[in-house]
Structure 1
Amino acid sequence: MPALHLSRFSSLRAFGHRDFVHVWSGALVSNIGTWMETLALGVFVTTVTGRAEATGTIAALTYLPAVVLSPVGGALADRFDRRAYLAVGTLVQALLAAVLTVLAFTGRLSVPAVAVISFLNGCTNTLVNPAFSALINQVVPPEDLHSAVSLNSAQYNLGRIIGPSLAAVVLATGGAPWALLVNTLSFLAVLVALWRVQPQGRVGAQGREELWPGICRGARVARGDAGLFLLMMSTLVISALVAPFIGLVPVFAIRVFNQGAAATSLLVAAQGVGAVCAAVMLGPLVERLGRRRLLEGCLLLIGPVAALYWLAPTLHLAALAIVGLGALYMASLTGLNTSIQLRVPRELQARISSLYSMMLGVGYAVGVWLQGSLADRVGVRFITVTCAVLFLALGLTLRLLRPRAFEATEAPSDFFRSGTSNPSVHLDGPGEF
């Protein structure tokens, strides 16, 4: 698809790059399968246990490894050929999905088994995701990075639309084993896509850097740069207070509206619709408002919209509200991720991306488990609305006390301006805390 034909559609410019199209399409097929598995397992755990805490715990286990392994994944992704590294990780993911499938077909699927495999999946995803983000950064030029990040979020959320819809049909006709089988086979699409992408090789001289010094340098850069630190903390807070709406969808559908897989599928798909719409609109909105102003607006709006979703009196109103919530959530994370990636050179992007993933994973794991646990004690609506209001209060407080705080995220990082005189952050040698 020639880039010329896409020049007027800023949100779609990344589709003008052949390798990005391969990565995007392979990831889409895999994510459709992943969302089929996610919905099937969410319904299974909620139905078997009848507790929001159990559903939240399973969701948290997928993200808990990010606490420790995200920096390791980022450093490894900067040391090896990212295409080969991703291929190995994909094979491990396919093997774990196959184990779930066999357990389901043999009638041995249990909540403890789901918990263990979810944790192992989380470990693998944590190690692989920084390489995937960095690969996207390599296959598009910097001016098309926002388009690439938006379209990557769009494919993830297209999977969120298509996967649960297919899962609802498969669960009604064949049951959970067949949904899990589709997910296992979907990883073949990623392997084919990686085979078709041009070899990227190692990035710069970083392949020679030892693992621990590489991790330390990425952490030092994120801690020492004011803009990066603010973006990381924003990611942590939104993932802890707002993002748990994703993992608690089965609880909302089953416990609040007294419905099952079909209602869960509706809500998950509605969120995906909102996210895809946001991906299409982000390019023109960034050009009109600027990346910083758009990000600030989304962060201020997402709290009230999350509260409206949790307070919805009917399933259909909840589905309408989660369209808006999905759009704002996708726009917020895209803005945060893009701003983070544009502040660092390519040889550090995987490590900084891994720290972003760590903030997202830690916040989500703690948030979804804690909100799920409290929901069993004080009610689903009460705890989730309280968290949404708290997020809004924090955003307004930052806006009042530091009205120009996010301006630091627009300028190039002081660490990497040409002619920097800080010897501790040179890119040609290892650093330490």
Structure 2
Amino acid sequence: MTALLRGFGVLWFGQTVSVVGSALTGFVLGVWVYQSTGSATQFAIISLSAVVPGIVLAPIAGVLADRRDRRGLMLIADAAAGAVTACVAVLLWTDQLTVWHIYLATAVTAACNTVHLTAFYAMLPLLVPREALGRANGLMQMTQAAQIAAPLLAGALVGTIGLRGVVLIDLCTMVVGMTLLVAARLDRSATAAPGAGKQVTLGEDLGHGWRLLRARPGLFQLAVLFGGFNLLFAMAGVLVQPLILSFGSAATLGVLMFAGGTGLFAGGLVMSAWGGPKRRVSGILGFLAFGGVVLALHGLRPSAWLIAVVAPLFLFILPIVSGSTLTLVQVKTPAESLGRVVATTRMIGQAATPFAYLVAGPLADRVAEPAMAPDGALAGSVGVLIGTGPGRGIALIFWVIGAGMLLLTLVAVTRPRLRRLETELPDAAGSSDAADEPSEPARQPEKERPRSASQPA
């Protein structure tokens, strides 16, 4: 048991170091694109390049995680990402780097990260005991939250060692992550692919995660709920910076973004120490309702002090909601299917994010802002409550997003299969604490047990 926890700790630390290094490069390359082109659209394409590959390739990543040695898969993904970063470094050194190189590098790196994370999350229940799984997912959320330091650190580094130096640091952190991945003492049963050697078609494999989720209505509804949450969160994330800049300076924006990031980091810290609510579904719904209220408060008035309070409060719930959702998926899914189910859940969760990126700006510029102008259509109604003028249309959208999250929570409460998920669907065997216990395949009701792709209909 101690060896398993130590192995996870080594992997987690290595991944955190590597993620921070990649975040440094991502930030400075984004700045380079904007300074080179002066185009906000081209800058936004970087965000799409970082999201779309993960959505499209998630099913393939899930198949690989269930059919190949998971540590080996993570090493291959990391090596490929490192090779891409090395190519960017060479292009920088030879003064041949162009914007399309950045888009391509971002997309390939995002694909590699999808494979790496899918394999890691699929392996996680075999690395830590079930009672510690929530805390382990909290640490994984802290890894993502660690990226909040990237803009501050990258800004300081660019001024001293330049863009080339930052890319070199990224390469060094990748080497550290891969070295620790190789050095971690992991039991073979934790890294081996449980489904290796099974003879199924690629089409059956790609659809397996979707079919298994559909066979478990409560788990599928949880994935859809997670997707709705991410859609609303993405829209708020796109618009919060223009909201702040409508009444504050760039310096104010930097301070408030850092304040929000501290809330994200604190949420990950709490999740890693707490492990999440004992009744996870109820906890997720409660935090979603709280998040809806806090999102609406963003638009109450144009105040930096208000944003300094509500932004960290909202981002605080993100690691708890995400960590609790992933823990439920891991606990309720058989080990041999976990890679494909985790990948499908992440795909559902992220599928609407590009849509949010594409529609949020036009919705604010062409609909909400004109309606909330001093002479706009809503100036005499909603404008009396939240004011009129620049930025108040975005404030109105925050009210709508907050109401949408409350509505999403209300709809989820009416779904009995989701509410009873933890009691109705038995935990799956295969976590590290069950390694010495006999397998109990009969624990899951026959009507909900997914059919293997190799079994007849």
TM category (shorter chain) comes to: 0.7 to 0.9
Alpha-carbon distance in structure 2 between the residues aligned to 1:407 and 1:286: 20
Aligned to 1:332: 321
Aligned to 1:222: 213
Alpha-carbon distance in structure 2 between the residues aligned to 1:178 and 1:371: 35
Alpha-carbon distance in structure 2 between the residues aligned to 1:406 and 1:213: 26
Is 1:79–2:67 an aligned residue pair? yes
Alpha-carbon distance in structure 1 between the residues aligned to 2:135 and 2:212: 25
Aligned to 1:270: 259
Alpha-carbon distance in structure 2 between the residues aligned to 1:212 and 1:274: 42
Aligned to 1:185: 172
- Alpha-carbon offset, residue 288 of structure 1: 6.3
Higher Cα radius of gyration? 2
> Secondary structure of 1:410's match?
helix
Structure 1's unaligned 5+ residue stretches are: 4-14
1:222–1:352 contact (8 Å) kept in structure 2: yes
> Secondary structure of 2:443's match?
coil
- Alpha-carbon offset, residue 375 of structure 1: 4.5
Specify which of 94, 100, 118 is matched with residue 88 of structure 2.
100
- Alpha-carbon offset, residue 404 of structure 1: 4.5
Alpha-carbon distance in structure 2 between the residues aligned to 1:423 and 1:382: 45
Aligned to 1:392: 405
User: How has the CA–CA distance of structure 1 residues 286 and 22 changed in structure 2, closer, same or farther, with 3 Å as cutoff?
Assistant: closer
CA deviation vs aligned residue, 1:315-339 (integer Å, no higher than 9, x gap): 5653443322221112111121111
Alpha-carbon distance in structure 2 between the residues aligned to 1:374 and 1:174: 40
- Alpha-carbon offset, residue 362 of structure 1: 1.6
CA deviation vs aligned residue, 1:126-145 (integer Å, no higher than 9, x gap): 23321021122221122211
| Larger RCO (CA under 8 A, 6+ residues apart) | 1
- Percent identity between the two aligned chains: 23
User: How has the CA–CA distance of structure 1 residues 136 and 213 changed in structure 2, closer, same or farther, with 3 Å as cutoff?
Assistant: same
1:56–1:373 contact (8 Å) kept in structure 2: no
Alpha-carbon distance in structure 2 between the residues aligned to 1:349 and 1:37: 31
Alpha-carbon distance in structure 2 between the residues aligned to 1:145 and 1:36: 29
Alpha-carbon distance in structure 1 between the residues aligned to 2:69 and 2:231: 33
* 1:178 aligned partner, one-letter code: G
CA deviation vs aligned residue, 1:96-150 (integer Å, no higher than 9, x gap): 2223333344444443332222222222222332102112222112221111101
Alpha-carbon distance in structure 2 between the residues aligned to 1:405 and 1:333: 20
Q: Which moved more, 1:283-292 or 1:131-140?
A: 283-292
1:32-111 matches, cutoff 5 A: 32-50=20-38, 52-111=40-99
Alpha-carbon distance in structure 2 between the residues aligned to 1:44 and 1:310: 32
* 1:188 aligned partner, one-letter code: V
> Secondary structure of 1:326's match?
helix
Alpha-carbon distance in structure 2 between the residues aligned to 1:48 and 1:388: 34
1:13-412 matches, cutoff 5 A: 17-50=5-38, 52-157=40-145, 159-197=146-184, 198=186, 199=188, 200-210=190-200, 211-246=202-237, 257-259=248-250, 263-264=253-254, 266-282=255-271, 290-309=279-298, 313-315=302-304, 317-375=306-364, 377=366, 381-382=394-395, 385=398, 388-398=401-411, 402=414, 404=416, 406-411=418-423
- Alpha-carbon offset, residue 243 of structure 1: 2.8
Aligned to 2:381: none
Aligned to 1:430: 454
Q: Which moved more, 1:111-120 or 1:84-93?
A: 111-120
Structure 2's unaligned 5+ residue stretches are: 370-390, 429-440
User: How has the CA–CA distance of structure 1 residues 110 and 335 changed in structure 2, closer, same or farther, with 3 Å as cutoff?
Assistant: same
Q: Which moved more, 1:245-254 or 1:367-376?
A: 245-254
Provide TM-score, normalisation by structure 2.
0.79
Alpha-carbon distance in structure 2 between the residues aligned to 1:31 and 1:51: 27
How many pairs were matched up? Answer: 416
> Secondary structure of 1:65's match?
helix
User: How has the CA–CA distance of structure 1 residues 338 and 432 changed in structure 2, closer, same or farther, with 3 Å as cutoff?
Assistant: farther
Provide TM-score, normalisation by structure 1.
0.83
- Alpha-carbon offset, residue 55 of structure 1: 3.5
User: How has the CA–CA distance of structure 1 residues 241 and 162 changed in structure 2, closer, same or farther, with 3 Å as cutoff?
Assistant: same
User: RMSD over aligned Cα, in angstroms?
Assistant: 3.3
1:46–1:250 contact (8 Å) kept in structure 2: no
- Alpha-carbon offset, residue 181 of structure 1: 2.7
User: How has the CA–CA distance of structure 1 residues 275 and 222 changed in structure 2, closer, same or farther, with 3 Å as cutoff?
Assistant: same
